[in-house]
Chain A
């Protein structure tokens, strides 16, 4: 697929962010093109989750620019107005490490809440659509279950379905498998691979190197609040140029 003539879905320039004295992002530049899967890796504390959360306004950058779906989320360190942010977020799906399903709602209600409240979709139509999404993530039999009765992998697949129900143009994944038991990681990655193959634009923070190698169009390595290396997976995993990248990959890939 050629992206050259299209504008990027996410465009980050000179993004800087500090929590008090602790600078977590120092001038990050990044492009995510339509239908591209960009995987962000790096040691913990490198700023990758913060970068991702800045892309839907959950964290606010102090300097720099972020454009999402062509709209200026952050312009010269200034956030777009709250009402614009709310409509922009409808186009940006977010999946969290800790799932964050609404505990008081059934699986089906978790998925229909957004479309019903924000898009005014009639209940029946929203439910129809939710069941379709549940089939897609292999959980149509769990429509009436409460989140507390699901396994971690099931919760995360419902969370993905909930995000998809808003028909987002881009999906952000913040370590979606890090809180899962090892045997449940596969079912979530499978859903993510399916999304990627359907052409969904995705930005994924993860420690799953296998997923990055197999699915990513571009891999970004972060350390100390900056991007130290970026390129296709074959290059990052095959011939990393930065010693820090090699160190990190060695530590991750050789763990026992």
Chain B
């Protein structure tokens, strides 16, 4: 077996551009996913608010219960039937945001519910309304507990983003396939693509670990 990486070196600029598209896509999707996850996670705290709780639960069930690829195809190939034609990149962002939002909402809900009831009782006893105690007392503490599972979710999303290459988005996966279609060097190019994803997930893991350690050192964990 002889490996020939020359197509990778020859097309490094395409791979770099693809990597930048992947980073951009994932960053925007993560930001949106976190906002969705926060709102839906809070919406699922109180089952007695039936409508909000029901809607949020249905969303989580639908998104977690169907393949991401199917969701992306519905957005990209299905919506045009209703006259909604979105650019591929926008479809990718929406799809990944909605998908990660469902998982992040469960992380948010779990972290909030793990905070001792006494914290809320103390805040409410001072006279704080429910929302104020949520934002000033519960969420800052819950946030620290969210970081490790959020790290998993971020990494999963980086890897899942490879699927958007099927929506004609020129991400790193798509660029790799383009190089292969000309050079036929699939093993070498896919190895290069794998290394790029590995670096992206590795940097993410490291960054989150640093944030967590800093928060712990700051005494934010009991």
Q: A residues engaging B (CB < 8 A)?
A: 56, 58, 82-83, 86-90, 92-94, 96, 98, 100-104, 106, 113-114, 117-118, 146-149, 159, 162-163, 166
* B122 CB contact (under 8 Å) in A102, A106, A118: A102
* A96 CB contact (under 8 Å) in B121, B128, B141, B220: B121
User: Cβ of B140 < 8 Å from any Cβ of A?
Assistant: yes
User: Cβ of B207 < 8 Å from any Cβ of A?
Assistant: no
User: Cβ of B67 < 8 Å from any Cβ of A?
Assistant: no
CA distance A89 to B118 in the complex (A): 16
Listed stretches B3-11, B129-137, B192-200; interface member:
B129-137
Which residues B99-122 have CB closer than 8 A to chain A? Answer: 116, 118-119, 121-122
Q: 8 additional contacts, CB 8 Å, given A58-B124, A96-B121, A104-B140?
A: A86-B129, A93-B125, A94-B121, A100-B121, A102-B123, A103-B221, A148-B222, A163-B125
Contacting pair B219 A114 (CB below 8 A):
no
Q: List, in ascending order, chain A residues with CB within 8 A of B144's CB.
A: 104
23 A-B pairs with C-beta separation under 8 A: A56-B125, A86-B127, A86-B129, A89-B125, A94-B125, A96-B122, A100-B116, A100-B119, A100-B122, A102-B119, A102-B122, A103-B141, A104-B144, A104-B219, A104-B220, A113-B137, A114-B128, A118-B126, A118-B127, A148-B221, A162-B126, A163-B126, A166-B126
Contacting pair B220 A114 (CB below 8 A):
no
Task: Write the chain A residue with the least CB distance to B135.
Answer: A117
Task: Write the chain A residue with the least CB distance to B130.
Answer: A82
CA distance A93 to B118 in the complex (A): 15
CA distance A166 to B127 in the complex (A): 9
Contacting pair A89 B126 (CB below 8 A):
yes
CA distance A172 to B127 in the complex (A): 14
Q: How far is the CB of A100 from chain B (nearest CB, A)?
A: 4
Q: List, in ascending order, chain B residues with CB within 8 A of A98's CB.
A: 118
**Which of B119, B122, B129, B144 has the most A CB atoms < 10 Å from its CB?**
B122
**Which of B121, B127, B144, B219 has the most A CB atoms < 10 Å from its CB?**
B127
Q: List, in ascending order, chain A residues with CB within 8 A of B137's CB.
A: 102, 104, 113
Contacting pair A94 B220 (CB below 8 A):
no
Chain B contact residues: helix, strand, loop or mixed: helix
Q: B residues engaging A (CB < 8 A)?
A: 116, 118-119, 121-129, 132, 136-137, 140-141, 144, 219-222
Contacting pair A103 B222 (CB below 8 A):
yes
Q: List, in ascending order, chain B residues with CB within 8 A of A100's CB.
A: 116, 118-119, 121-122
Q: List, in ascending order, chain A residues with CB within 8 A of B219's CB.
A: 104, 106, 146, 148-149
Q: How far is the CB of A204 from chain B (nearest CB, A)?
A: 16
**Which of B116, B125, B132, B222 has the most A CB atoms < 10 Å from its CB?**
B125
CA distance A147 to B119 in the complex (A): 13
Q: List, in ascending order, chain A residues with CB within 8 A of B118's CB.
A: 96, 98, 100
CA distance A113 to B33 in the complex (A): 30
CA distance A149 to B218 in the complex (A): 12
Contacting pair A114 B141 (CB below 8 A):
no
Contacting pair A90 B127 (CB below 8 A):
yes
